[in-house]
A and B are shown apart, each in its own frame.
Chain A
Amino acid sequence: MASLTSAENQMNLDFHSLNRRNALKGLGLSALSLPLVSQVPHLQAKGDSSSRKPKQRVIFMFSPNGTIPKHFWPEKDGEDFELKSITRPLEPFRDRLLFLKRLHNKVRGDGDNHMRGMSCLLTGIELFPGNIQGGSDTPAGWPKGISIDHEISNFLQAKEETRTRFGVLHFGVGVLDKADPWTRMSYAGPNQPVAPLGDPYEAYRKLYGNVMEKKQINSILDDLKTDLSQVADKLSPNDRKLLVEHSLLVDRMDKEFSRSDDLKNLAGKPPHLKEGVENLNDNLPTLSRMQIDLLVNSFVNDFTRVATLQFTKSVGQAKMSWLDINERHHTLSHEPDKNKDAYEKLIRINTWFAEELAYLLKKLESTPEPGQTGSMLDHTLVVWTNELGKGNSHTLNDIPFLLAGGGFGFKMGRSLSCQNNPHNRLLLSLAHAVGHPLKTFGNPKLSAGGPLDLG
């Protein structure tokens, strides 16, 4: 046990020396590092073992409409793999990448492939029967279970040493104002979609808020609880359900806000956001960077250890005018491979997503891990994924799963064939990696064989 810890420390030290060089390149260092001094372990009181235990964080990054497999997947398996044009922006992180080939979303049942691709991606379970084509009597198809980001978050929140203010945060870039199974990948439970924060200003307010506002809200929460229970008491148990859910949210807000005193002692100052950037198509590149900055900052302040970063939605129709592409993404993705123009544009679109991932990784790498040695990337795993394998075939096979970073103890720097297994097994691996040894996740049949061996 002890030897393990020292080995970990040794590893962290190595990473630390490696990353200090990179970190020094970053201009933002001085701003970030000053408040951190007090948290460097050796300056802290001895015996505080919990803070020495490395943190584990995970980010699920989503981009839509499938990839161009020939330009995404390395041809060779193993450590001697080559990066194709789409993933070339990730070259600096080559040793920290793990391509998971031949991993399929095998969830079937109601819904088209975009819907299942999206809503079953992190849940691994079927959708409730429904008719999201609209105008139907029957409830539409939200998934029947929780998504892995929330599962992991619930697990971490249950323990004092891993509990954070939010538990999980969802950032969106170019997400639309519509709630349906094409637009949500995170679920707090069956039938409980969770909306991503599409607006960085909204996200900023959620993270840092206005201390005055929070105080104000805090002052009425107890009375609100009284009020809620008085109304609930007058209703039948069946009608009361919604109010019970509501009360849970009030409790949650209470907890969050009562911790907001910590805001005074932030480890990392809130990032400076460019003002007045509207949630419009042409602003996506700027919005993306703003959201990534906020995301990394929320890690610095340990507001959460689980996050999602969702670009548009399944069937997303971004028009990437900044790449001189004037057709919409999903429309392009339907074009046959022989349409060279569309094919080339789709490569560029997917390369752009890879560049955004590279920015995120770089940001994490240049951020020292608070209270620990090494960089934040050492303690973070990014899972880049997509609702489809390929746009024009709408296949749910070969979902582009690319893992990046450290954090979960997986063996990185290689391309691995997952032997046509269902992706539920990857979701299980993620749970196991945080010490949550689930037997199955999502559809039990698709969990057969347990977690993938990624170590």
Chain B
Amino acid sequence: MASLAVIFGFVCWAKPNESSLLKGKAIFEKQCAECHGSKGQGVAGEYEKPLTGDWPLEKLIRVVEKTMPELEPNLCRGEEARLVSKYVFETFWQKPEQFSQSREITLARLTNRQFRQSVADLFAQSPGARMPVGVDREKQGLRAAYYDVKKMNKRHQKKKDRIDPVVDFDFGSGVPLEGMNKEGFSVLWQGSILPPETGWYEFFVHSYNGFSFWINADGKKASIDETVVGGKEREKSIRLFLLGGRPYPIMLDFFKFKDPIAKIRLSWKPPHGNKEIIPKEFLFQQSVPPSLIIQQKLPPDDSSYGFPRGTMIEQAWDEAITFAALEAGRFANERIDRLAQTNNEDDKRREKVENFFLEFVKYAFREPLTEKQKEFFVLSRFEESKSLSQSVEEIVLLTLKSPRFLYPEWQALAKKDKDPYVVATRLSLYLWDSLPGRTFHQLMEKGNFLKKSQMEGQSKRMLEDDRAQAKFQDFLLHWLEIDQNDPPQKDKELFPKFDDQVISDLRRSLITYLDSVVWENRGTLEDLLRAREIPLSKKMAGYYGVKNLRDSNASAFPLYPAEDLGRKGLFTHPYLLANYSYVDQTSPIHRGVFVSRKILGRSLRPPQEAISFKSSDFDPKWTMRQKVTALTKPANCMACHDLINSTGFLLEGYDATGRVRTEDAGRTLDTKVAYFDREGNELSMSGPADLLKHSLASESSEMFFIEELFKYVAKQDPSCYKNMVNKNLLKDMRTNKLTDLYLQLCLEAATDGFAYVR
């Protein structure tokens, strides 16, 4: 009854001369507004999101015709569906800005990554601490000194200095070098380690003999002390959190005395990786000082916006930060004399410690201190009744818990004028997730950081720092959605040779590739997506059937032409294909969602009702394509699955481990699809090469990447920045080298004056 009235009402109301838009509007108000709002803004408790999207008109009509109004799709068909869709399309469908809530920059606390980086750099500013500089990457391997030993581990005579690429030795009952003392010898390995990713690392030392092992630690106390035990085969391990892109000191002191045999092996288990001998590409000869890397577990940042940001203030965080500050206080206390360049016999010890902290607090707060602040945060903390160590820990605790440290952009929000300290703060955050250091402050104190050219010069220097590289790499892993997941395990019976080593090599291949295209070759987004060459290890070559891998001493992952491996575009890297597959078969849906969103920049809505794919529901003789087609056939599924399936089917030529295949379920593969682009043009595609071609020609693909990068860098939406909106800057940047793109985004956002849209 009610539904008839609706249609009837409309028919009576319509006059032949009304414009079609008005007609559409009327239909919308009668049939759609209840759930979508009178202006398409959404209705709480019904459909809450604004009605916007990137579907072309024809598709919108199709979807409305088949699925709307929900539960009664018969109410709006044919001409009505066309009219209402046209109205929606013209009035707001492609104008999401109409619905954007106030686009304002929001105050945020440091993210976990920013917190750890900032604390590490804060303690590295004093001249006594020595800032860890970038390591010389040409000099791989560890410095090894071989000695003959007299009595226990007393070094008697040095026999040789040499470079050992890795530590993996079984000397048996013999000696490392000819002419050495069989009874007792020792080896000292020293250098630095550059972890590839941020996260928890476990280090293992396996030996039959005596050893001590230091990782990111001072000489005094070993991380693992096994000098006492000997004559017993054993493995000891230590687990610690490390930030990627920073070198850490590493040292292994090994000795044999009277034991029948001698062996020593140094391995690790990196985050998302498997246990392995530490490969030579992560070991370097250079010495570096230890860094304070906070080990306290921090509750995860809110990543519900698609990137981690510090907008969630919870009790667990407050407590974790407090414990982290105490950890930092102990660190400071243990080495205060070195940090302040004094000693306990120095008459000016207290004065020097005070001066150290006046600088320390200045760096922490990212601006010069007022006299009042000096008194409050530092000078008043030294009282007769307190021991020096109490004062030290109290200052560190109060400083690291202060909102001035924890909310780095608060000054930007409080100040109205341009200020070099605000620009410096932002540049450090955006490029490094850290804070301006000593040299930066000196620059500003001398007034050498005011002009645009000075700012540009400084950001270029910052770009070449390892920390900038590490942050960009983290972004790329985040963009590819492989920053959180564990590596893809597959069914051991179906893919017996797809073992742990292949899997960790795949991840390393991808990371090495990203590194080389961005930093070594200074490529563009197009270069990145094209992936003309793929780093290939021997193990990967074996699995993917490559016979002519050239043997290279320089790298365990020599570059191999992607074409010869059957690859067309970054998204056909086997790690990604395997990652977006089930354990026993491909998943066109996962692959399609990934490619549509991340590579093509298309927007997808989450499904109304999650339906899971169960292979066993279908005839086993069917191909995956047939199964997925049948599963997603209902009209409300097809609203998004036409896009998802078409892009996913294009990659069906690769199995669940990313190997090239030509058959599925005993049938020749069919990868031909009809793909509808944003404008509604139907494109006929038949494989990854077409997909690559389209993604390179598509503006949405580039814009999506740039916006994702911006959000990751600044932890804010680009529309909060006037420059980004007004100058259409993002658009102009897309053909740049990726490093330039990164630099420009950071610089523009940092110097966007205080012209936030507020």
A residues near B (Cβ < 8 Å) are 109-114, 126, 128-142, 177-180, 188, 192-195, 197, 199, 202, 205-206, 213, 216-217, 219-220, 223-224, 227-228, 231-232, 234-236, 238-239, 241-243, 245-246, 249-250, 252-253, 278, 331, 334-336, 339, 392, 394
CB–CB B301/A179 < 8 A: yes
CB–CB B305/A110 < 8 A: no
Contacting residues, chain A, for B597 (C-beta < 8 A): 135
29 contacts between A and B (CB under 8 A): A109-B45, A112-B606, A132-B606, A135-B306, A135-B481, A137-B305, A139-B305, A140-B305, A178-B300, A178-B303, A178-B484, A179-B299, A192-B312, A193-B312, A194-B314, A195-B299, A195-B300, A216-B326, A217-B326, A223-B398, A224-B402, A232-B403, A235-B413, A239-B107, A242-B106, A243-B407, A245-B313, A250-B318, A335-B616
Which B residue's beta carbon lies closest to that of A198?
B297
Q: Which of B34-58 contact A (CB under 8 A)?
A: 42, 45, 48-49
CB–CB B316/A195 < 8 A: yes
A80–B299 Cα gap in the complex (Å)?
A: 46
Which A residue's beta carbon lies closest to that of B616?
A336
Contacting residues, chain A, for B314 (C-beta < 8 A): 188, 192-195, 249
How many CB-defined contacts (below 8 Å) exist between A and B? 158
Partner of A110, one of B48, B297, B299: B48
Which A residue's beta carbon lies closest to that of B607?
A112
* CB of B187 closer than 8 Å to a CB of A: no
CB–CB A224/B401 < 8 A: yes
Q: Which of B287-337 contact A (CB under 8 A)?
A: 297, 299-306, 311-316, 318-319, 322-323, 326, 329
Partner of A227, one of B106, B313, B402: B402
CB–CB A131/B606 < 8 A: yes
Most buried by A among B300, B315, B607: B315
Q: Lowest 7 A-B CB distances belong to which pairs?
A: A140-B304, A112-B610, A129-B48, A234-B414, A249-B318, A179-B300, A245-B313
* CB of B622 closer than 8 Å to a CB of A: no
Partner of B322, one of A134, A228, A253: A253
Q: Which of B373-388 contact A (CB under 8 A)?
A: 376
* CB of B344 closer than 8 Å to a CB of A: no
A111–B606 Cα gap in the complex (Å)?
A: 8
A224–B302 Cα gap in the complex (Å)?
A: 25
Contacting residues, chain B, for A249 (C-beta < 8 A): 313-315, 318
A113–B251 Cα gap in the complex (Å)?
A: 51
A49–B392 Cα gap in the complex (Å)?
A: 48
CB–CB B403/A246 < 8 A: yes
CB–CB A126/B305 < 8 A: no
Partner of B394, one of A111, A216, A232, A252: A216
- Add 6 more A-B contacts to A112-B610, A114-B610, A177-B297 (CB < 8 A): A132-B304, A216-B394, A227-B403, A246-B318, A246-B403, A253-B322
Contacting residues, chain A, for B303 (C-beta < 8 A): 134, 178-180
A131–B104 Cα gap in the complex (Å)?
A: 21
Known: A177-B300, A194-B314, A195-B314. A239 touches B413 (CB 8 A): yes
CB–CB B397/A339 < 8 A: no
Known: A242-B311, A331-B583. A220 touches B606 (CB 8 A): no
Contacting residues, chain A, for B612 (C-beta < 8 A): 334, 394
* CB of B239 closer than 8 Å to a CB of A: yes
CB–CB A194/B315 < 8 A: yes
CB–CB B610/A394 < 8 A: yes
| Residue tally, chain B, CB below 8 Å to A | 62
Contacting residues, chain A, for B104 (C-beta < 8 A): 238
A232–B474 Cα gap in the complex (Å)?
A: 32
Contacting residues, chain B, for A339 (C-beta < 8 A): 616
Most buried by A among B48, B304, B583, B598: B304
CB–CB B414/A179 < 8 A: no
Which B residue's beta carbon lies closest to that of A224?
B401
Which A residue's beta carbon lies closest to that of B48?
A129
CB–CB A138/B315 < 8 A: no
Which A residue's beta carbon lies closest to that of B320?
A202
Which A residue's beta carbon lies closest to that of B313?
A245
Which B residue's beta carbon lies closest to that of A333?
B612
Which A residue's beta carbon lies closest to that of B601?
A135
Least Cβ–Cβ distance between A184 and chain B, in angstroms: 10
A282–B104 Cα gap in the complex (Å)?
A: 46
A339–B481 Cα gap in the complex (Å)?
A: 32
* CB of B108 closer than 8 Å to a CB of A: yes
Least Cβ–Cβ distance between B630 and chain A, in angstroms: 17
A139–B307 Cα gap in the complex (Å)?
A: 11
CB–CB A180/B304 < 8 A: yes
A127–B606 Cα gap in the complex (Å)?
A: 13
A207–B576 Cα gap in the complex (Å)?
A: 43
* CB of B143 closer than 8 Å to a CB of A: no
Contacting residues, chain A, for B300 (C-beta < 8 A): 177-179, 195
A188–B398 Cα gap in the complex (Å)?
A: 27
* CB of B655 closer than 8 Å to a CB of A: no
A180–B484 Cα gap in the complex (Å)?
A: 13
CB–CB A138/B301 < 8 A: no
Least Cβ–Cβ distance between B278 and chain A, in angstroms: 21
CB–CB B403/A243 < 8 A: yes
Contacting residues, chain A, for B484 (C-beta < 8 A): 178
* CB of B404 closer than 8 Å to a CB of A: yes
Least Cβ–Cβ distance between B354 and chain A, in angstroms: 18
Contacting residues, chain A, for B410 (C-beta < 8 A): 231, 234-235, 239
Which B residue's beta carbon lies closest to that of A213?
B326
CB–CB A231/B407 < 8 A: yes
A279–B398 Cα gap in the complex (Å)?
A: 31
Contacting residues, chain A, for B609 (C-beta < 8 A): 112-113
Which B residue's beta carbon lies closest to that of A132?
B304
CB–CB B397/A228 < 8 A: no
Contacting residues, chain A, for B604 (C-beta < 8 A): 133
Known: A194-B314, A334-B612. A142 touches B304 (CB 8 A): yes
Which A residue's beta carbon lies closest to that of B105?
A239
A130–B323 Cα gap in the complex (Å)?
A: 33
Which B residue's beta carbon lies closest to that of A114?
B610
A237–B313 Cα gap in the complex (Å)?
A: 17
Contacting residues, chain A, for B583 (C-beta < 8 A): 331
A34–B394 Cα gap in the complex (Å)?
A: 38
Which A residue's beta carbon lies closest to that of B299?
A195
A114–B42 Cα gap in the complex (Å)?
A: 24
A392–B303 Cα gap in the complex (Å)?
A: 28
A419–B42 Cα gap in the complex (Å)?
A: 34
Contacting residues, chain B, for A223 (C-beta < 8 A): 376, 398
CB–CB A194/B318 < 8 A: no
Contacting residues, chain A, for B481 (C-beta < 8 A): 134-135
A227–B394 Cα gap in the complex (Å)?
A: 15
Partner of B717, one of A137, A180, A188, A241: A137
Known: A194-B315, A242-B311. A220 touches B304 (CB 8 A): no
Q: Which of B717-739 contact A (CB under 8 A)?
A: 717
CB–CB A216/B397 < 8 A: yes
Most buried by A among B318, B597, B605: B318
A241–B313 Cα gap in the complex (Å)?
A: 10
CB–CB B394/A219 < 8 A: yes
Which B residue's beta carbon lies closest to that of A226?
B376
CB–CB B315/A252 < 8 A: yes
* CB of B109 closer than 8 Å to a CB of A: yes
A89–B410 Cα gap in the complex (Å)?
A: 56
A223–B394 Cα gap in the complex (Å)?
A: 11
CB–CB B319/A206 < 8 A: yes
Contacting residues, chain B, for A141 (C-beta < 8 A): 304
Least Cβ–Cβ distance between B396 and chain A, in angstroms: 10
A213–B325 Cα gap in the complex (Å)?
A: 11
CB–CB A220/B403 < 8 A: no
Which A residue's beta carbon lies closest to that of B413?
A239
CB–CB A242/B313 < 8 A: yes
Which B residue's beta carbon lies closest to that of A179?
B300
A246–B326 Cα gap in the complex (Å)?
A: 19
Most buried by B among A139, A142, A242: A242
CB–CB B49/A129 < 8 A: yes
Contacting residues, chain B, for A331 (C-beta < 8 A): 583
* CB of B65 closer than 8 Å to a CB of A: no
